[in-house]
Amino acid sequence: MKLNDFIEGLTILQDYYNDPNGYHIGAEHDQFFIYNTDLPLSEEHVTRMFALGWFQSDAKIGDWVNDYDPDDGWSAFV
C-alpha cells in the first residue's frame, strides 16, 4: 500500500466517527487495524476503500459492497 492510499483511507474513515480524533487504531506486525466506525460508510466510500487496498476480514473479493459490515473494522497491509 502506498502512503497516499493509506492517508486517503484514514481521511475517509475519520468522518464516520463521533470522535474523529479518538483512539481508533491498532497495529500488529505488518497490518494496521481501524476499529469499526460509529456510522456506516456510504456505498461510494466502501467502494473507494477497497479500491485503495483497505479491506474487511470477512469481505469477499469482488463482492465488497454487498459484504460490507458496518460492525467490522478495516485493515491495511503495509
Looking up cell 481501524, which residue turns up?
34
pTM for the model stands at: 0.80
Environment class of residue 12 by beta-carbon count within 10 Å: exposed (0-12), middle (13-18) or buried (19+)? buried
Statement: residue 62 has pLDDT above 70: no
Lateral strand order in the sheet of 25-28: 25-28, 31-34, 74-77
Name the pLDDT band for 61 (thresholds 50, 70, 90): low
